[in-house]
Structures are given as C-alpha cells and as structure tokens.
Amino acid sequence: MKKSTLLVRSLVSVTTLGLVLGACTSTSGETDDPAATQAGDVSSGTVPGSVLRVNWGGFPESWAPGAEMEAGFLRVPYENLVASGPDGEIVGVLATSWEETDEALTLTLREGVTFHDGTPFDAEAVKVNIETIKNTPGPYAGPFQVVESIDVVDPQTVRLNLSEPTPSLLTTLTTRAAPMASPAAIEAGTIAQTPVGTGPWAYDATASIPGTRLVFGPADGYWGEPVGFETVQLVSIPEDNAATAALVNGEIDLTDTEVNQFSTLDAAGTIERLSYPAIRNNPIFFDRGPGGMFEDVRVRQAACSAIDTEVLAELEPDWQVRTQHFAEGEQGFNPDLQGYPHDLAKAQDLYDEAGNPPVDAEMLATVFNENQMKIYAEQMGEIGMNVTVQSAPPPQYFTEWNSGRYPLGLGGNDELTPFDWYKAWFAADAPGNPSGVESPELKAAADAAIAAGSTEQADLLWSVVTKVIQDEALTCAHVAGEELLAWNAETVTGVAEPSERWETNLVNYRDLRPAS
C-alpha cells in the first residue's frame, strides 16, 4: 500500500490473520431496544456482537496527540473539539459553541463527557492537549505556535489567546492535528502506546495482539449518538495481494487497496469500492540556509524544472499532477500559477547560471515512497545533481525525513489552510524549516495575509503567499493521490467518502452498519 504515509508495517500472513479472527464474526440485525434513540448509551441501536474488521496495512508508531498518525486509526478512539460537516461547515463535537476574535478563540465545552479511563473532559484537558501538540516536534506543532497562552475560564470554558489573527484555527481543530486524549494518560506517558480518547470505541488491550490486531470495544457511558458496530478491529496486512485475498475470503470487511487489485476485487462479485482525494505530497528543500547546497534559488528552480511528475502519473494512474498545493476553491489557490513544467534545457541553464555548485544530496525514503523518490532523483541527475535515496523503516523515516539531517525530502502535506501550510513548513520558525531561513518577501506576504484575518482581502493575499513560495522554489512537483477503499457489501453498508478532507486511510466509521 504504497501511499500509506504514517504507518509501522507489521507483517502478518493471511493464514495467521484468519486464525486470529476466526472467533470474531459480524452479527447482523436490528435491535428492538426502546432506548435505541438515547444518546450516551453506545449499545443502543448497536447490533450486539457485531465486529467491523478493517485493514489499513499497519499500525501507528504513536497514539499521542501531536504525533503523526493516519486518520483511519486516530478517528476510532479519538474525537476532536469540532469537525468538518458534509458541506464543509464546522460543527461542534466536544465543543458546543465558540467565539472568535483577532485576539482569542473561546470554546464552550460539552458537559458530561469523560475519557475512556474515567478522567473528566474539561477545559484543563483541552489545555493539556493543545500544549502537548504545540510542544511536540513535527508539522502539527507549527499552526499552534500562534497560541500564546491558554486560560481555563471555568470547567466548561477554555480560551486560546492568540499572538496574531488566525481565522483558520477552527479549521485546524477539525483535522487529525488535534485529537483530544486523556490528560492523565498524557502525563503518565502511556498515551503513545495506549490510546485513551472520548469516542464510541475504547481500546481493549486484553483482546488486542500487538503487531497483529487492535481491538476497540464499546465505550461505557459514551455521550454521543449510537453507532452500528459494537466493536472495531484494526488489523495489519501490508501486502496488497494478501489484503485482497483476506477481503474476498471474508476474513476482513474493509481495506485500502490499489488499482492493480481492481480486477480481482471486481471478479468476486460481493466487493464494492470507492476513491476519494486524500494525499498531497511534494519534495521540499531543507538545506537552503547560508552555505547550503540549495541556498541559491536557481539551484532549487533547476531541480524543480528537471522533475517530471507526468512520468510518475503514467506509472501510478491514481496520482494526479498539480500546479500547486491548494486546489481551486480552497484559500491559497492561485489561478495564475503553472508550477514548474518539465524543461530539461531550462533546468540545465539555471544550474549553469548558478555555477553548477555541487549537489550531493541524500533523501530518506521508506517502503511507500521509495519508487517516487528514485524517479525524482534520477531526473535531477540528468542535469548533474547527485541525489541518492536511502531506504529506512517507517519509524526512522517519520522521525528523520524532515528533521534537517537530510537536505531535501518528500512527504505528505495535508494542511487545509495556507496559514497552516506556511506555519508548518516555510516560516522561519516552522518545524519543517530546519534551516530557519525565510526571505523578507515571503515574511512580508505572510504577515499581510495574517493581518487581513477573515476580511475579503485575505484570499488574495494568501494566493500571493503561494506565489512567493513557488517563485522561490521552496517546494515543487506537487501531486495528489486518491485513497482507494474496498469493502464486502455482504457484511458492511454505509461506506461513503468521509467529510474530512485530505485524510488518508479513513472511512466514516460511525455511519457504517452490519449488512442484513
């Protein structure tokens, strides 16, 4: 599963998986319980004994807030303060209302919510979570640097004090950057390996088998609406053919998949599938400080002009070539940008103009992006740049690819707003900018866009920021990928494209029901 970006792949054969799951079956049918409409009782309306078996090909390295984990895992035990609704509007989850000003975001919290370990969900819990995310190295930390301090006004009211206008902060709170975890588990340090959230399914360590199966059973006293499946099991089948066989044979109910599996899936007759846009990635030049091999903008532009993303799209048909990070209709999109079309002669001229400074760069790759990196490295080599690709296991890759140890890297950029994208990768203090270098032009453009807040000028000003980032070739070679899902229609219904945008390995768990 080549594009799965934040996983530790734990090998398990289909035979072994079948033995593990043999006693775990999905029970269909409806309940006649008159309490089925009562929120707060997760078993009401839930099919007793029903089990949803899902494969995302691996498991998170860490479940802690601020760690990079894919949405398919995070959104089982965890909930956010707010969520993205079907039409893109922001709706309340653990927060019921909010007030935004240029100086602060004040949230009113839902009463009567507890974490799976019994810890109360309150303003202090929100404070601990936001501070943990802010202080955890990684791209999620960047957008939260704007939070100067957090006031616990009362148990159900929390105020995030801002250093500058940040109208995109609510959007950030809808994403996988900001799950709410038990502050007791965070303080104890156990949260990394044992998730403790407020969602309808709680982690069951006794039923789980590390590296093979993670079991999430019904959370006692869940505050929200009832869900269809009593239990969610996450399994690990990293190899595409094996995952397809497990789905067709009835050992799992749903999996991510690849285009090369479609013929086998379609032949089964009971398998349905869908795709949705979930992945945006692009190489970023990290070593662009004084004396760095990518200090000269012409060297970066040369590398960008040498890369031919159309080659990638031909080899991987579910990749789409993009001119920029943001899509039309999103803030930050600039209709005048054309990216860096492949032009080897222009690339060579730019490199020659820069004096052909030696580029002897190493990129860190892992199982799901190594081929893509090798294509780009070979293309940059055509103008005399020596770029090598070092393969590493996922845990090392996630820790080091953007740490500054490597002069350039290729990774996912799932930020939804230009403020988040800028703060994560390009601002002088961005976690993804280890050089600490930011041009006066970029800072001026970003400062103007931030100062515009939510005024009519903001969209235009953020599109200027996008243009400066492209002109300076801080990143390039933008591509977007589809998440491909397949499921057994005889065991599960309700699968649809999730309302969350640009999140990988995700299905709308709460809307799924056992087929009958």
CATH of residue 104's domain is 3.90.76.10
User: Is residue 24 domain-shared with residue 129, that is, in the same domain?
Assistant: no
CATH of residue 411's domain is 3.10.105.10
CA angle at 462 for the pair 477 and 326, rounded to the nearest 5° = 35
User: Is residue 354 domain-shared with residue 290, that is, in the same domain?
Assistant: yes
Alpha-carbon distance of 75 to 509, in angstroms, equals: 8
Residue reference for tokens 């961005």: 430
Biggest alpha carbon–alpha carbon distance for the chain: 78
Q: Which residues contact 326 (CB under 8 A, 6 or more apart)?
A: 332, 333, 334, 418, 421, 466
User: Is residue 71 domain-shared with residue 87, that is, in the same domain?
Assistant: no
Instruction: Please state the φ and ψ torsions of residue 139, each to the nearest 5 degrees.
Output: -65, -25
CA dihedral (458, 461, 462, 467) in degrees, to 10, reads 170
The pLDDT tens digits along the chain (516 residues) read 434 333 333 333 333 344 344 333 333 333 333 223 223 333 448 999 999 999 998 898 899 999 988 899 999 999 999 999 878 799 999 999 999 999 999 999 999 999 999 999 999 999 999 999 999 988 799 999 999 999 999 999 999 999 999 999 999 999 999 999 999 999 999 999 999 999 999 999 999 998 899 999 999 999 999 999 999 999 999 899 999 999 999 999 999 999 999 999 999 999 999 999 998 999 999 999 999 999 999 999 999 999 999 999 998 888 899 999 999 999 999 999 999 999 999 999 999 999 999 999 999 998 788 999 999 999 999 999 999 999 988 768 877 898 899 999 998 888 999 999 999 999 999 989 999 999 999 999 999 999 999 999 999 999 999 999 999 999 999 999 999 999 999 999 999 999 898 998 899 999 999 997
User: Is residue 246 domain-shared with residue 174, that is, in the same domain?
Assistant: no
User: Is residue 46 domain-shared with residue 144, that is, in the same domain?
Assistant: no
- Is 93 within the bounds of a domain? yes
User: Is residue 308 domain-shared with residue 366, that is, in the same domain?
Assistant: yes
The CA distances from residue 15 to 73, 207, 239, 344, in Å, are 24, 19, 13, 50
- Is 3 within the bounds of a domain? no
The CA distances from residue 44 to 7, 32, 203, in Å, are 33, 9, 19
Among 146, 161, 186, where does a domain finish?
186
Alpha-carbon distance of 283 to 511, in angstroms, equals: 36
Among 139, 156, 186, where does a domain finish?
186
Q: Tell me which residue range forms the domain holding 154.
A: 82-186
- Is 341 within the bounds of a domain? yes
Q: Are strands 479-488 and 271-285 parallel, antiparallel or unpaired?
A: antiparallel
Q: Can you give the pTM of this predicted structure?
A: 0.85
CB–CB of 25/45 below 8 Å?
no
- Burial grade of 47 (CB within 10 A; 0-12, 13-18, 19 or more): buried
- Is 193 within the bounds of a domain? no
- Is 207 within the bounds of a domain? yes
CB–CB of 193/8 below 8 Å?
no
Q: Which residues contact 269 (CB under 8 A, 6 or more apart)?
A: none
User: Is residue 493 domain-shared with residue 359, that is, in the same domain?
Assistant: no
Q: Choose among 266, 245, 254: nearest CA to 486.
A: 254
pLDDT of amino acid 36: 32
User: Is residue 356 domain-shared with residue 459, that is, in the same domain?
Assistant: yes
Residue reference for tokens 């990079």: 68
Among 160, 186, 212, where does a domain finish?
186
What's the structural domain count of the chain? 3
User: Is residue 323 domain-shared with residue 455, that is, in the same domain?
Assistant: yes
Length of the chain: 516
Instruction: Please state the φ and ψ torsions of residue 361, each to the nearest 5 degrees.
Output: -115, 145
User: Is residue 377 domain-shared with residue 430, that is, in the same domain?
Assistant: yes
CATH of residue 229's domain is 3.40.190.10
Region for 404 from its dihedrals, namely left if φ exceeds 0, alpha if ψ lies in -120 to 50, beta otherwise: left
CB–CB of 41/35 below 8 Å?
yes
- Is 339 within the bounds of a domain? yes
pLDDT of amino acid 368: 80
3-state DSSP helix/strand/coil % of the chain, to nearest 5: 30, 25, 50
Token digits of residue 111: 């009463």
User: Is residue 470 domain-shared with residue 426, that is, in the same domain?
Assistant: yes
- Is 343 within the bounds of a domain? yes
User: Is residue 238 domain-shared with residue 161, that is, in the same domain?
Assistant: no
- Is 365 within the bounds of a domain? yes
